Amino acid sequence: MSTTRDYPGLLTNITEDILHICIPIPHVLRNVNLYLFLGKEPALIDAGPGHPLLEQVVREALRCAGVRRLSYLYLTHSHIDHFGLAQGIRRFTGAAVAAHRAEAPRIERVNRTLPREYSCYASLSGALGFPEEMSRRIFAQARRWTEFSEPCSLDVKLRGGEKLPAGDRQLEAVHTPGHTAGHLCYYEAEDKLLFSGDHLMRSITPNPELYCPPRRGRVTGLPQFIASLKLLESYDIERAFPGHGQPIRRVRKRIEFNLLHHHRRLEHTEKAVRAGCCTVWEVAIRLFPQIRGKPPEIDHFLALKEALGHLLILEEQGRVRRKEERGMWLYTPA
């Protein structure tokens, strides 16, 4: 058995029996974090994106940790950077793959679900004032993303609240919807560790899901995301280990910061409407001026989702009004 010293930075100890595997990705987020639990029931949290090179990286990390078989692979959510390699990992470790049941459509049938979702987003573009050329170019990329994932049937469909074996420890699945409908954090009560996926990160705030078609009458995951942050306040968390970036030591402070961040963004969104921005896209550009004039890329869609989420909350709170004119949503101050 090798040691974690063989690959500094790839494999590091969090505790004696929990290892962090750092997977590099060619994206502004720079890496995806996987967490390996050693012991009776070896388990891994998250898989990383599906790519043969990255599969080699995970294989090598497991080899260095002395792990050949995994009992479980626990997924935080159905984004390709977290589940893309799940099927590959199951093939070479025998792991049972677990995720929240609401994430099953993307994980199990990504090749069909993602293009369907992207064409649903494209069909909303007119209502949101999203320029047609931009919409066409961004939403034509579903196939490009599916190249980094392989469909993976779930062996265990979770609801949240389950107690799950991981190494010699126990994890609680904590349902934290918002970033996706079935996002899960995993809580280890003994050392008060939270594996927080994309729900809670150290230096960025995640983007809310756009439910297309609407889910239980909701178009945006933002209200759920805020409620999920408040839910975490009821947990005693010493350190949080996110899906990207560095661990979080002052967890309560980070949760408070994120709540404040959304509170402020609501205010900025309301100001944008008062200043005369009336479509969702106009508000998005006002909130994120850095995307103005850039070639179409996923950031434009992320800005759109963010603006839409905040506008819908303001509308619910009676702070802005929405009317529809020739299929386009137009916002005015209340």
Site residues (vs Zn ion, CB under 5 A): 79, 81, 198, 243
- Is 81 or 306 the residue whose CB approaches Zn ion more closely? 81
> How many Cβ atoms sit within 10 Å of the Cβ of residue 1?
7
- Is 160 or 243 the residue whose CB approaches Zn ion more closely? 243
**172: nearest Cα among 195, 155, 154, 197:** 195
Give the shortest CB-32-to-Zn ion separation in angstroms.
7
Give the shortest CB-57-to-Zn ion separation in angstroms.
17
Cα distances (Å, whole numbers) of residue 41 to 44, 47, 72, 171, 311: 10, 17, 7, 12, 46
Give the shortest CB-74-to-Zn ion separation in angstroms.
15
- Is 20 or 286 the residue whose CB approaches Zn ion more closely? 20
Give the shortest CB-77-to-Zn ion separation in angstroms.
6
Q: 86, 145 in Cβ contact below 8 A?
A: no
Give the shortest CB-31-to-Zn ion separation in angstroms.
10
Q: Which residue has the tokens 């850039």?
A: 294
| Stated length of the chain | 334
Give the shortest CB-219-to-Zn ion separation in angstroms.
18
Give the shortest CB-93-to-Zn ion separation in angstroms.
22
The partner residues of 73 in beta bridges, in order of sequence, read 44, 97
- Is 80 or 273 the residue whose CB approaches Zn ion more closely? 80
- Is 150 or 198 the residue whose CB approaches Zn ion more closely? 198
Give the shortest CB-317-to-Zn ion separation in angstroms.
27
Distance in angstroms (rounded) separating the CA atoms of residues 22 and 11: 7
Distance in angstroms (rounded) separating the CA atoms of residues 283 and 271: 9
Q: 307, 287 in Cβ contact below 8 A?
A: yes
- Is 71 or 78 the residue whose CB approaches Zn ion more closely? 78
- Is 286 or 305 the residue whose CB approaches Zn ion more closely? 305
Cα distances (Å, whole numbers) of residue 236 to 19, 115, 206, 251, 265: 21, 40, 22, 9, 28
Give the shortest CB-80-to-Zn ion separation in angstroms.
9
- Is 22 or 189 the residue whose CB approaches Zn ion more closely? 22
- Is 79 or 305 the residue whose CB approaches Zn ion more closely? 79
Distance in angstroms (rounded) separating the CA atoms of residues 275 and 259: 24
Within 8 A by CB and 6+ apart from 320, the residues are 270, 273, 311, 314, 331, 332, 333, 334
Distance in angstroms (rounded) separating the CA atoms of residues 179 and 88: 25
Structure tokens at 329: 């949503």
Cα distances (Å, whole numbers) of residue 312 to 68, 180, 222, 302: 48, 17, 9, 15
End-to-end CA distance of the chain: 66
